[in-house]
Structure 1
């Protein structure tokens, strides 16, 4: 295939909101299970080390000796602020919607401090050494959020836990919490830069473009603005494809969230005609067990035309291995 090459004017870089979200489910060992189940029952548990120190939150292994820890103890729901920082503008999903202090609180009976929110009217109302107590959430599920926050407290220790000594606890509860789902999410504005902005603009016109390195003359798709081999800047824009060759592939047997595709399906590296780097795309229009190296494919564009939904066989004879072996 002949390549179309030109040095394009530099467009304004695109920007768009982007969310990276990866919630995952993890199982809990006996120590963390007891700790979270205890919070659900309005009980704060720590763990005692061989040296007699009480760790809250409890750890499964001693941070000093690495010895396994299982000696659970109940501590108080009152404590002392050891250090703090004022948060004047809470972000979404933080413990409180109004300004609050992040505080390290050493609960009565504990030797380490727990990080949580402290509800106070202003920074002038917070000080190191002040006494606080747990404000329990109205609905508790077995999570650190069962502690809604801490609040100032000037009375005696309450609800169990003695100031001087932590009380032994079996860690046994009915219907224990055995697993949690941990959310991980990042919201930000992404700018793909000059090279990928041109690449995305071309996709909107149902064209695929890369950039040629002025040193090694290889064409990279998607373009990065610099040659990944030579490290020099690239500006010479080259239209490639639309057809290409499957170089390697994998069969996916797990259904992805929010992806309406029947499993199993295939994702492959596809070397577009005229390109020197294979891109990653889904293969459709063929049974998953008939996809093979050397299969010739072409794009099937989404209805909105923004990018190919998948690639399908062209019906051409398979490409010989020598034609794509450098891209495997």
Structure 2
């Protein structure tokens, strides 16, 4: 007897990206504007210590903080971790150390990169200084990285990560020409996704123009896409059930902004994304609605899938021409 071949393990590279735009209060604005001018500002807390980067409210008392002081561009490494394989968009393209640096005059440590030739060249207590970026715009990347101080500057033994420092600081009013009032903070996660047993079966069925869910053995609800376990009862689901292919629009939204990540999809705005309850399913999935003007999409609209070229998954859903579903038939799936 020949042993059965193990099932194919599916993998796909995925990217989750969201550029977050935020406005700045007076303390954060002064800090980032200061970096643009090669000045590092901290804020004095109620116990007299200096926080760098600064915050606007005291973490111990929650009182508002406004007293800005200038600290030195030199400091001491309190701890580190070697990064031998830098990823795209990290501070340096060659191997470097992530370090917490307690700048002279600060009571807290700042996380950044240290340009060092190797892990043996990094140690707790070593003295470092800021290497400023050639072009500065008012962001944390205005600090290109840290670099070791002169070889003859001794290490600082037993440096604490936090606490008051005796080093003198200089008061600063935080006033700069053309202050930075907002930033865009890009957040991006690149990873390889491998679906489990339930979703592998679901994706395999889609390639055959079928939609398969799984039924909970306790509450008997059918979930599409299947999760491998019932989200209500918490028990494993193994009973596969074919649903659809037709379904009902339960809720929807009209998209009026062409996001950067959809540029390669050639979608003209406005377009509609909807929650669709496939016939026989107890959980609505989401899909794009096509074949109808965006302003004629409605709750209760009956739709069917239109498959992509190659037929691996539905490209969008279009109206079937059937009468709209009665509200009572899908109200529990909103």
* Bin for the TM-score computed over the shorter chain: 0.7 to 0.9
CA distance, structure 2, for counterparts of residue 10 and residue 217 of structure 1: 30
1:274 counterpart = 2:260 = no
Is residue 148 of structure 2 the alignment partner of residue 152 of structure 1?
Answer: yes
Report the Cα distance in structure 1 between the residues aligned to 2:6 and 2:119, rounded to whole angstroms. 50
CA–CA distance in structure 2, aligned partners of residues 81 and 37 of structure 1? 25
Distance 2:77 2:216 in 1: 59
Taking structure 2 as the reference length, the TM-score comes to 0.84
- Residue 308 of structure 2 is matched in structure 1 by 302
| C-alpha distance in structure 2 between counterparts of 1:325 and 1:130, whole Å | 64
Structure 1 residues 234 and 131 mapped into 2: Cα distance closer, same or farther (>3 Å)? Answer: closer
Q: How many pairs align?
A: 314
Sort the Cα spacing of 1:222 and 1:204 in 2 relative to 1 into closer, same or farther, 3 A: same
> Structure 2 residue aligned with 1:181, among 175, 184, 195?
184
Let me know the Cα RMSD of the aligned residues.
Answer: 2.5
Does 1:33 pair with 2:39?
no
Higher relative contact order (CA 8 A, sep 6+): 1
Deviation at 1:10, TM superposition (A): 8.4
Task: Name the SS of the counterpart of 2:324 in structure 1.
Answer: coil
Distance 1:233 1:133, change over 3 A: closer
Q: Aligned partners of 1:276 and 1:124: how far apart in 2?
A: 58
Aligned partner of 2:76 among 58, 80, 92: 80
Instruction: Specify the alignment match of 2:295 in structure 1.
Output: 289
Contact 1:301 1:308 in 2 (8 A): yes
Partner of 1:227: 230
2: distance between equivalents of 1:278 and 1:128?
A: 54
Task: Extract unaligned runs of 5+ from structure 1.
Answer: 1-8, 157-162
Unaligned runs of 5+ residues in structure 2 are 154-165
Extract structure 1 runs of 4+ deviating beyond 6 A.
none
> Using the alignment, how far apart are the partners of 1:65 and 1:232 within structure 2?
46
Q: Report the CA distance shift for 1:299/1:126 in structure 2 as closer, same or farther (over 3 A).
A: closer
